[in-house]
Structure formats: structure tokens, C-alpha cells
């Protein structure tokens, strides 16, 4: 009986711990399921982590007491106000975090997503004000504050030569190191391949290369995902923030949209290999599981931009799989 009780306790403990794979929940689609149905879809597929891009009240209510770990975004358009007004930041935390805590298992607040232009100056002040508000509520140690960036903020090849190409990133990196927060990185081998087909083989982008493609000192790279992540690690080291971890806050592959590489077969290959791979770490960080969020849960037909942007979903709006995938 004691052994059975211990087994059940261990199972309950493991069930409450989010897995290393999450999925981004975007809502730019018509006829998407209700938030409560979406949360049930996460649970039925064993997806233990969710990223939302703004304080979605319907999603937050549906997430209550589910144990799903949540990364919640601050809209880019709110950054300047939150950067210049600590009271506005305190109100944001009160209304969007404290009001739902501890029922919602917040992990990270992403202060902006791929911020560009003059708004980049507001990222760090907004991060500070949001974190100060969390600290005042006693939550800064459990809910980490960061920002989500894309690979365009880095430069250098091979990965060991990575550095930040944007001057504002150094101070952000060092702040993350002081506060013990990770850098949230949107990592897309698809876009790297699309922009440089002459030099990047699609097998390298899809995790299907049979052997080493890039030798970087003692580190051998067989896939582009690892190379992009390790470029971020090198950039953090170069900025004096080598203890900052990387969380892959977006990664995915489109299943349609006109480009030759955007097929259901390639999307399934990439995302399934990504799921199977992230537990291994990278050549710079072997054995360290990479917390990773696949983009995205649904095909979103209301998204603007290239047609492929509408076809990154793992599921269709009727909740049927866009292609087979196993979590």
C-alpha cells in the first residue's frame, strides 16, 4: 500500500509539472474554438505550456486551475506607457496577473514581441516597471520578466562568433542576468532557409541532415535550430550575460501558402523533429532541455503579410489536426 501511495504521489507530481514543449495560442483567425475548448485541446494532447500574446481574459479564465504554464505578452503598443508610468505598470500587473494568480500558472511576462524602431528604447524601462510591480506583490521570484526577440538581433557565424547586432540588447541581457530571467527567442530555421536557399540545405533546416553540416571548434552542428540557439547563447556571453538561459518562445514551419518549402510534409517533419530534439540541448549546452513553444496552435486566416503566415497552425479552427503530430 505504501509503494502504491508513493507511485500515485509521483504520478501526480509529474502530471503537475509542465513539459518542455508549449504551443503559442494566437487568435487571429475566424471561427476559432472557444477558449475553454482550446484549453481542453491542450490538455487532451498533453501540451503543458501556452504562450498568449496579450492578457486575453477568456483564455485566462479557461486556464484557471489547469496547471498549464503560461507565458503572457505585453502588447507592443503599450510599452511606452508602461515604461514611463510605474503606476500604469502596477495597474497592468494588478489587473492581468494578480487578479488571476495563483489559479493561472504564470511563468513569464514577455514585455513586447519583436519590438522594432523607436519603441525598442521602451523595452527595458517597461520590464523594470513590470518587475517592480511583481516584486511589490511578492511574485518577482516566481514570475520572470523578459522580452521576445527574433534572430535578427544577433549576428556572426559560426555560432561561437555570435553577438548582438542591436545596441539596446546588451543592457537587456545584463538585466536578465541580474534578475535570473531567460531571454525569449523566436527561432525560425524556415525563414533563415527561405532567405538563403543558396547556402542552406533544407535538410539542415528540417533536422534531417545525415551528418555534421557546420563544424565550429569542438561543436558539430547537424541542424540549423541548434546553430541559431547557440548564436543567441554566444551573443549573451559576449554581452556579459553568459548565465542567461534561452527559452525558444516561437518556432514553427508553415504547411501551405505558396512557397515550395511550405508543405504539410515539411511542417510535420520540422515540428515533430523539434519536439523530439529539444530535450537534448544544443552543442553549447548539451543535455539542457530547451523550453520551446511551437508557433502556433491554429491556422489563422485573418493574419496579414505573406500567405504562409496564415498556415503555421498545428490544428484547423474545427480542432482537426492540420497534419499528424505527437507530443
Q: Are 47 and 21 spatial neighbours (Cβ–Cβ below 8 Å)? A: yes
For the entire predicted model, the pTM comes to 0.94
To which residue does cell 520551446 refer? 292
3-state SS class at 94: helix
pLDDT of 19 reads 58
Query: Whose CA is closest to 284, among 245, 228, 233, 214?
Result: 233
What's the CA gap between 82 and 100, in Å, rounded? Answer: 20
Phi/psi for 308 (5° steps) reads -60, -25
Reported confidence tier of residue 4, pLDDT bands at 50, 70, 90: very low
- Rounded average pLDDT over 146-154: 98
The whole-number average pLDDT for the span 221-233 is 98
Q: What is the dihedral of CA 216, 222, 224, 226, to 10 degrees?
A: -70
- Kindly state the percentage of the chain with pLDDT values over 70: 94
pLDDT confidence tier of residue 7, bands split at 50, 70 and 90: very low
Convert the pLDDT of each residue in 171-208 to its tens digit: 999 999 999 999 999 999 999 999 999 999 999 999 99
| Exposed e or buried b per residue across 160-183, where buried means at least 16 C-beta atoms within 10 angstroms of its C-beta | bebbbeeeebbebbbbbbebebbb
The band of 20, judged by pLDDT with boundaries at 50, 70 and 90, is confident
Contact 245, 230 (CB under 8 A): no
Domains of the chain: 22-315 (3.20.20.80)
CA distance 56 to 233: 31
| Residue 289 predicted with pLDDT over 80 | yes
Enumerate the active-site residues.
114, 250
- Beta-strand ranges (E) seen in the chain are 21-24, 49-52, 69-74, 105-113, 144-150, 154-155, 163-164, 183-186, 214-216, 219-221, 246-251, 292-294
Amino acid at each position: 500500500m505504501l509503494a502504491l501511495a508513493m507511485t500515485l504521489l509521483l504520478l501526480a507530481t509529474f502530471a503537475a509539472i509542465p513539459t518542455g514543449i508549449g504551443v503559442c495560442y494566437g487568435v487571429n483567425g475566424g471561427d476559432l474554438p472557444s477558449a475553454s475548448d482550446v484549453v481542453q485541446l491542450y490538455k487532451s494532447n498533453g501540451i503543458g505550456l501556452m504562450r498568449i500574446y496579450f492578457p486575453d481574459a477568456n483564455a485566462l479564465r479557461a486556464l484557471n486551475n489547469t496547471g498549464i504554464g503560461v507565458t503572457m505578452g505585453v502588447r507592443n503598443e503599450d510599452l511606452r506607457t508602461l515604461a514611463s508610468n510605474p503606476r500604469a505598470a502596477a495597474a497592468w500587473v494588478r489587473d492581468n496577473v494578480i487578479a488571476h494568480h495563483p489559479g493561472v500558472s504564470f511563468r513569464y511576462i514577455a514585455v513586447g514581441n519583436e519590438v522594432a524602431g523607436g519603441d525598442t528604447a521602451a523595452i527595458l524601462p517597461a520590464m523594470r516597471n513590470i518587475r517592480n510591480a511583481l516584486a511589490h506583490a511578492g511574485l518577482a521570484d516566481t514570475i520572470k520578466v523578459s522580452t521576445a526577440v527574433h534572430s535578427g538581433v544577433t549576428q556572426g557565424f559560426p555560432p561561437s562568433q555570435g553577438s548582438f547586432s542591436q545596441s539596446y540588447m546588451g543592457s537587456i541581457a545584463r538585466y536578465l542576468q541580474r534578475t535570473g530571467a531567460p531571454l525569449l527567442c523566436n527561432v525560425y530555421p524556415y525563414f533563415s532557409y527561405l532567405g538563403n536557399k543558396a547556402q542552406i540545405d533544407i535538410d539542415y533546416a528540417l533536422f534531417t541532415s545525415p551528418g555534421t553540416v557546420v563544424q565550429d571548434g569542438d561543436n558539430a552542428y547537424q541542424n540549423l535550430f541548434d546553430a541559431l540557439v547557440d548564436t543567441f547563447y554566444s551573443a549573451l556571453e559576449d554581452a556579459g550575460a553568459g548565465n542567461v538561459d534561452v527559452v525558444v518562445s516561437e518556432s514553427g514551419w508553415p504547411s501551405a501558402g505558396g512557397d515550395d518549402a511550405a508543405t504539410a510534409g515539411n511542417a510535420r517533419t520540422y515540428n515533430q523533429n523539434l519536439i523530439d530534439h529539444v530535450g537534448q540541448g544544443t552543442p553549447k549546452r548539451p543535455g539542457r532541455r530547451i523550453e520551446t513553444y511551437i508557433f502556433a496552435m491554429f491556422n489563422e486566416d485573418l493574419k496579414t503579410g505573406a500567405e504562409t503566415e496564415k498556415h503555421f497552425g498545428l490544428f484547423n479552427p474545427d480542432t482537426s489536426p492540420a497534419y499528424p503530430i505527437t507530443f
